[in-house]
Amino acid sequence: MKITKAMTAAALTLCLCACSSREIHVSPDIQLEASVIPYPQQFDLHKGALYLDNSLIVLSKDFEDRTLAVTRDFANQLSECTSSQVEVKTFCCIPCKGASLTIAYDDELPDEAYEIKVDESGATVKSSSHNGVLYALATLRQMLPPAIYSSEASDAEFAIPFCEIQDSPAYSYRGVMLDCARHFFPVENVKRLLDAMAAYKLNRFHWHLTDDQGWRIESKKYPKLTEVGSMRSGTMVGRDWNSDDHIPHGGYYTQEQLREVVDYAWKLGITIVPEIDLPGHMVAALASYPELGCTGGPYEVLKVWGISDQVLCAGKDETYRFLDEVLCEVADIFPGELFHIGGDECPKVEWEKCPHCQAKIAELGLVDKDGVSAEQYLQNYVTHHVQKTLASKGKRIIGWDEITEGELDKGVAVMFWRGWLPVEKTLGKYTADGYDVIMTPTSYFYIDYLQSEDMDSEPVGFQSVLTIDKMYSFDLTKGLSPEQLSHIKGVQANLWAEYVSTWEHAEYMLFPRLFALSCIAWDGDERPDFESFMGEVKSHQFPVLDNWGYNYRNR
């Protein structure tokens, strides 16, 4: 289409007419403070403030529909809290006269990066992506009074300071894992976590959907997975391994609900990484389809935590048919590239005795070598099989670091969780072999661990401690070369739910440690000292959580 001068003039007139009824409200003489977590890469505060009540937000048409949606959500929040009318308009000829906030497309900025400038003429955001705009709005929201996180009207002055910000993340993968297999959390709880993740610029949700204690994802081809595998008859009480509360516990997500959550996360710039843990941690599946095991059962969905010797039989053809059909079914629901296959804590006790597994070992010519058993090489074969299956669906597999034992094909990503030192002999091995790595070592990122050395002051849980200062001290660069560091794609905090049975407890375990994760993931090693960080958390982020209605550890 040819653009004429007359058409350009008409478009400009339309833009100015639509916007000219608004006036930008500023106070150049006041000095506001600002608290933003994670810390922007460059943040220059100036004297003066811009008020965002009764304002106009203008968004470039170059952005996606979901970007318009999150911008309108921001405007609606402002409208509710200020009891005023905040409008959103889209134009191709921005900046637009009368706009308090202009969101402009800049294709020279990297993905997820953004720039903000606030002065007498208003606020301008520049970005090249949906996530960049999302994070810019998250930063602006944090510079407003904490009441912005409440749905109720407030008499606070909704002003942001004059400033200049240039910001981008240190790592592309910034994740949180939620275990919904040990205890089931409804969709509304999952969405609440996604909201918090987006607010603090986290972009990967690792969803642990299956384990020995429950299968939480609907399968149309294998309906017994939820008819049987989603429900256990009771749960151990506290840390008493011989106890049973005799209270049935279960629940699962329908495929429709899963797609609903996928869409919700996509709007928030979050990609979901589903996990089907295999070939171990599969007792719930074996209880549903006993023929998939080495012994044929009987099996029962586990009521206790820990590691079971009962695993999928790696010697039966029906096992591979089951894996192919279920994994492809799940892959069709989740559009992200990564698919987590677990691979951890798979005892080989049954495989050593199983005639089917031993026949498969003989067929493949597997033998003990280099200190690795033939049974471990058999697990490598299972990994290789599901890697090919998921590759046919456009997926790349990621697994816990046990998948590297024995032999591993190229193209796999590794989630490093066991231990931390010496780095050169553990993490260094994976990066030297060229595997992309997500860092989630237990001693720094397992947020099911208690938050205080005074264990009696904490809710019942796993008997290890991860204080927020220990988490914040994580140093990713220790012992690694620049080439090895190039394979570190990000970090992730894991909330296992053996002892977390309510969403109130889950929120307590998340906060305030999620703030530390956010800074590590976004800022990398260029972050303020711990005392400054905690000062920001207590002065501003705790009031944010109060207004948002989150439960958290405040001591």
CB 193 within 8 A of CB 510: yes
User: If DSSP codes are grouped into helix, strand and coil, which group holds residue 444?
Assistant: helix
Structure tokens belonging to residue 332: 């069709």
Between CA 45 and CA 64 the distance in angstroms is: 30
Dig out the tokens for 147 from the structure.
Answer: 């009441």
**259 three-state secondary structure:** helix
Helix (H) / strand (E) element for 66: namely helix 65-82
* Residue 4 backbone phi and psi in degrees, to 5: -95, 165
Say how far apart CA 386 and CA 278 lie, in whole Å: 10
Q: Show the beta-strand stretches assigned E in 313-467.
A: 338-342, 396-400, 413-416, 436-439, 449-450, 462-465
Are the C-beta atoms of residues 342 and 399 closer than 8 Å to each other? yes
How far CA 42 is from CA of 39, 129, 172, in Å, comes to 8, 19, 19
- 8 A C-beta contact, residue 398 and residue 385: no
Q: What is the 3-state composition of the chain as percent helix, strand, coil, each rounded to the nearest 5? A: 35, 20, 40
Q: Which residues contact 82 (CB under 8 A, 6 or more apart)?
A: 52, 53, 54, 153, 154, 158
User: Which residue's entry shows tokens 């989150």?
Assistant: 550
What backbone phi and psi angles, to 5 degrees, belong to 132? -60, -45
CB-based burial of residue 89 (10 Å sphere; 0-12 exposed, 13-18 middle, 19+ buried)? middle
Cβ–Cβ < 8 Å for 285, 229: yes
Please say whether the beta carbons of 539 and 495 come within 8 A. no
What's the token pair of residue 97? 């006269």
Which residues in 466-503 are b (16+ Cβ under 10 Å) and which e? bebebbbebebeeebeeebeebbbbbbbbbbbbbbbeb
- Burial of 188 (C-beta count, 10 Å sphere; 0-12/13-18/19+): exposed
Q: Which residues pair with 51 in a beta bridge?
A: 25, 159
Q: If we measure between CA atoms, which residue out of 406, 417, 415, 420 comes closest to residue 435?
A: 415
Give the tokens for residue 524.
């990398």
Catalytic residue ranges: 211, 281, 345
